[in-house]
Amino acid sequence: MRRERSARPDRDAGAQYSAPHPAQRLLVAPRWMHHVTAVGMASLTIGLGVASLIIIPPAGTGAAVWWPAAGTGVLFALLFRGPVWIPLSVIALTGVLANLAAGRPLSFAIAALVILTVEASVVLAIVGRHGEHARLNGVRGLGRLFVACVAGALSLALLGSTSLFVLAGAPIVSTAIALTLSHLSALLLMVPIALVPLSRRVLRVKPIRIMEGVAQFTATLTVATILFSPVLPVPLLFLLFPLFAWAATRFRPLYVVVQLAAIALLIPSLFLLVGGPYLSITNVPTPGLLVQLFMISAAITTLFLAVGRSEREALLDERERRAVLLRGGFIGAQVGFLVARRTPKGELNIVDSNEVGRQMAQGGWLEPIIDAWLHHPQNDLTQEVTLDTGRSYQVFASVTGHALHEDDVASAVGIQLVEITDTIAARDALARTLERERAVTLELRELARQKDVFVSAVSHELRTPITSILGFAEEIDDTGPDETKQAAEIIIRNSRRLAAMVEQLLELGRLASPETHLHLGSARLDALVGEAVEEQSVAAERAGLMVDTDLHADGREVLIEPLSLGRVLTNLLSNAIKFTPRGGIVRVSTNAHGPRAIIMVDDSGVGISPDERHRVFDRFYRSASEEKLATPGTGLGLPIVKALVESAGGTITIDDSPIGGTRFIVELPLASSGPMTGSIQLRRNGRQTTS
């Protein structure tokens, strides 16, 4: 689940001011609206530029006292969604036409063309093509706007004062100051119109608010007209700031910046046309600069107040929205939530709860638990409770606020109730199931032990009579009449099979016994492989098979008793010979890899399916294949091989043979890799310990 990012007033507008600002809104506006706005802004920029130089021509060849076209030109560029060179061309054309209309030489017009274009380009580079880097929904955006306006005004002042000095010998410092203040005030008062965030909500303005807005706007214009007219003998311009604060704290940001733009057009016009209180101030060579300073101060103050109001409303909206979300989760939760407080009498009072919590807490069982915990609330409460009704609950409680004391009634207690009736029932059922399985496992182990004891006992009991039968049968075969020799041979053959089976059973019993110890020795691997192959050569010849060897152990010795290794090799070879059809191949290969020797016995027989490979080492297991069932066997040879190999610290695995049948892979530790001494005790799970 994605964690919701918290509101940051310096970057994000809240729900109320998260819609695009006017510059972005015009990007998706109808074409006719964009065209009307573009034509209107272009005409306004050119008209204000020409009027500012015609109405009040600059003294001599100096800088203009009032140049509102600097602000409207950048505003036009921000609102225009076409190529940026079009509004820049309008700004350049404004400078050319204004200077020519004021009767200035063509060189002045060309210089103005370049300087005004540079100023607008600097501002746009900082705020973004459409103001995306300086939205006025936070202090960060406002700060970026201030930086852009100051940078643009300073770049123009530097180029303009230098140009006027070169072209007309105008003083650089005073010209630069005049240009900076004139253009900075125009930018601060006009550009915010394109950057102020619009309201996403549908405006439902109450009539009383409309009346208040009309009254505020009228009062501001009236007071400004009076203050900047010759009526008052002294400047009382500070009277306008309460009206600006009124607008910034009570109305939407768009209303505030529009009012600032109106003041930006009204105040300089009054000053230039009818004079004003600043004209009576002596010792000030250019009173118009004081007007520009006043307008800059008014713009900065009002914009800060308006942006602060936007941030506060964004935070309030964010808090309200989060409260609604939390309240919805609190009420609609599937677990019980309760909020309790202690009364002055020490009683616990539930001040809020959801429906689930109210139903769970019925019956008065919760209060004693919380009261007992509140006497020592060092840690949060976690407790399971089973009621007389059979329902079970898990209770979580924690203290909010500062730590509770005996006389503390201010802190709230948050309580969470989770019904765990089904969980406890499932847990108890699982415990009963595990107990039954444990009992069954113990019973199966006991049955297996009894089976092993029985097999071992029967094997011991069978060994003596089988030996007697075999001995008397051999005597009859040697000394009896000819008519009884055939029967004696049958008795001898079957007696030997029974004797071999008994020996195998006894061997498995010894290997599986926890008291059995085998003494480890070492055996020359290749030599014993050769002896085992030679021993099985008669059986292989009788079966019509060829036995190959590929021995590369290079005389290395393995850590296993020679007798045990011989039995492993004999059983694997006899098994391969039994299940390989006439004309097949049995191959024995050896190799040494690292600290272990590898023995591989391959055959081209019927193979062992992957489903049966994990079972062939079980006692008495016989394959379900009819072809294998036709081959006599007891199912004890491979279990003995596995037990002997693991008793020596080796492993045995089964894989497909490259010659078509089965491959048995035996790995045994080499004697040179650190021979083991002493003896090992065999265990049923195949692990061993040295002693």
Spatial neighbors of 243 by CB under 8 A, at least 6 apart, are 216, 219, 220, 223
Task: Give residue 1's pLDDT.
Answer: 32
Question: pTM, whole model, 2 decimals?
Answer: 0.49
Please state, for a pLDDT cut of 90, what percent of the chain lies above it. 7
**DSSP letters of 582-622?**
TT-EEEEEEEEETTEEEEEEEE-SS---TTTTTTTTSTT--
CATH number at residue 506: 1.10.287
Query: What Å distances lie between residue 455 and 459, 501, 505, 533, 564, CA to CA?
Result: 6, 11, 7, 32, 22
Task: Give residue 383's pLDDT.
Answer: 81
Flag whether pLDDT at 625 surpasses 60: no
> Would 12 be classed as within a structural domain?
no
Q: Which of 512, 546, 566 is the last residue of a domain?
A: 512
Q: What are phi and psi of 589, to 5 degrees?
A: -130, 150
Q: Considering its fold, how many domains does the chain have in total?
A: 4
Rounded CA-CA distance 159/180 in Å is 11
Rounded CA-CA distance 444/172 in Å is 107
Query: What Å distances lie between residue 143 and 146, 182, 303, 562, CA to CA?
Result: 5, 20, 11, 91
Task: Give residue 342's pLDDT.
Answer: 72
**DSSP letters of 375-418?**
TS-SS-EEEEEE-TTS-EEEEEEEE-SSPP-TT--S-EEEEEEE
Assess whether 364 and 307 both reside in one domain.
no
> Would 282 be classed as within a structural domain?
yes
Task: Give residue 667's pLDDT.
Answer: 92
Q: Which of 248, 280, 315 is the last residue of a domain?
A: 315
Flag whether pLDDT at 179 surpasses 70: yes
**DSSP letters of 489-503?**
HHHHHHHHHHHHHHH
Assess whether 492 and 557 both reside in one domain.
no
Task: Give residue 397's pLDDT.
Answer: 82
Are 532 and 569 in contact by the 8 Å Cβ rule? The answer is yes
Sequence letter at residue 390: G
Binned at pLDDT 50, 70 and 90, residue 404 comes out as very low
Tokens standing for residue 153:
């005004």
Rounded CA-CA distance 642/617 in Å is 7
CA atoms within 13 A on the CB side of 541: 6
Are 632 and 563 in contact by the 8 Å Cβ rule? The answer is no
> Would 325 be classed as within a structural domain?
no
> Would 331 be classed as within a structural domain?
no
Sequence letter at residue 524: R
pLDDT tens readout for residues 220-266: 888 877 777 766 666 677 777 788 778 777 777 777 777 877 777 77
Per-residue pLDDT, averaged over 340-368, amounts to: 76
Per-residue pLDDT, averaged over 282-287, amounts to: 55
Assess whether 507 and 619 both reside in one domain.
no
Are 602 and 659 in contact by the 8 Å Cβ rule? The answer is yes
Binned at pLDDT 50, 70 and 90, residue 507 comes out as low
pLDDT tens readout for residues 102-138: 888 888 888 888 999 999 999 999 998 888 888 887 8
Tell me which range, 39-43, 192-196, 456-460, is most confidently predicted by mean pLDDT.
Answer: 39-43
Rounded CA-CA distance 430/424 in Å is 10
CATH number at residue 551: 3.30.565.10
Q: Which of 36-40, 397-401, 595-599, 643-647 shows the lowest mean pLDDT across its residues?
A: 397-401
Binned at pLDDT 50, 70 and 90, residue 634 comes out as low
Task: Give residue 676's pLDDT.
Answer: 43
Give the residues across from 597 on adjacent strands.
592, 668
Task: Give residue 310's pLDDT.
Answer: 76
Domain that holds residue 231: 22-315
Flag whether pLDDT at 497 surpasses 80: no
Query: Which helix (H) or strand (E) covers residue 688, if one does?
Result: strand 688-690
What's 672's DSSP letter? G
Tokens standing for residue 9:
């007033």
Rounded CA-CA distance 37/495 in Å is 116
Task: Give residue 629's pLDDT.
Answer: 46
Assess whether 279 and 368 both reside in one domain.
no
CATH number at residue 352: 3.30.450
> Would 542 be classed as within a structural domain?
yes
Assess whether 563 and 592 both reside in one domain.
yes
Per-residue pLDDT, averaged over 655-664, amounts to: 89
Flag whether pLDDT at 99 surpasses 70: yes
Flag whether pLDDT at 407 surpasses 50: no
- Quick one: how far is CA 570 from the chain centroid? 60
Pairing of strands 688-690, 517-519: unpaired
Assess whether 479 and 587 both reside in one domain.
no
Radius of gyration of the chain (CA): 52
Pairing of strands 585-593, 596-603: antiparallel
CA nearest to 145, candidates 197, 82, 108, 83: 197
> Would 180 be classed as within a structural domain?
yes
For residues 600 and 360, which has the higher predicted lDDT (pLDDT)?
600
Rounded CA-CA distance 263/240 in Å is 11
> Would 329 be classed as within a structural domain?
no
Per-residue pLDDT, averaged over 607-629, amounts to: 70
Flag whether pLDDT at 84 surpasses 70: yes
Flag whether pLDDT at 344 surpasses 50: yes
Assess whether 41 and 186 both reside in one domain.
yes
Assess whether 507 and 521 both reside in one domain.
no
675: left (phi over 0), alpha (psi -120 to 50) or beta: beta
Per-residue pLDDT, averaged over 668-685, amounts to: 54
User: What dihedral angle (degrees, nearest 10) is formed by the CA atoms of 9, 10, 12, 15?
Assistant: 30
> Would 503 be classed as within a structural domain?
yes
Tokens standing for residue 498:
């029974």
**DSSP letters of 250-296?**
HS-HHHHHHHHHHHHHHHHHHHHHH--GGGG--S-S-HHHHHHHHHH
Please state, for a pLDDT cut of 70, what percent of the chain lies above it. 73
Q: Which of 54-58, 61-65, 310-314, 448-452 shows the lowest mean pLDDT across its residues?
A: 61-65
Q: Which of 489, 512, 535 is the last residue of a domain?
A: 512
Are 181 and 289 in contact by the 8 Å Cβ rule? The answer is yes
Average pLDDT over the chain, rounded to whole?
76
Residues written for the chain: 691
CA triple 523-670-533, angle to 5 deg: 45
Flag whether pLDDT at 603 surpasses 50: yes
Rounded CA-CA distance 365/386 in Å is 10
Per the listing, tokens 């410092």 go with: 173
Per-residue pLDDT, averaged over 321-342, amounts to: 71
Task: Give residue 510's pLDDT.
Answer: 62
Assess whether 104 and 218 both reside in one domain.
yes
Task: Give residue 589's pLDDT.
Answer: 92
Flag whether pLDDT at 628 surpasses 90: no
81 CB neighbour count, 10 Å cutoff: 17
Task: Give residue 18's pLDDT.
Answer: 46
Q: What are phi and psi of 67, to 5 degrees?
A: -140, 75
26 CB neighbour count, 10 Å cutoff: 20
Assess whether 234 and 92 both reside in one domain.
yes
For residues 519 and 389, which has the higher predicted lDDT (pLDDT)?
389
Assess whether 553 and 642 both reside in one domain.
yes
Assess whether 171 and 287 both reside in one domain.
yes
Task: Give residue 275's pLDDT.
Answer: 62
Task: Give residue 586's pLDDT.
Answer: 92
Rounded CA-CA distance 25/611 in Å is 71
307 CB neighbour count, 10 Å cutoff: 28
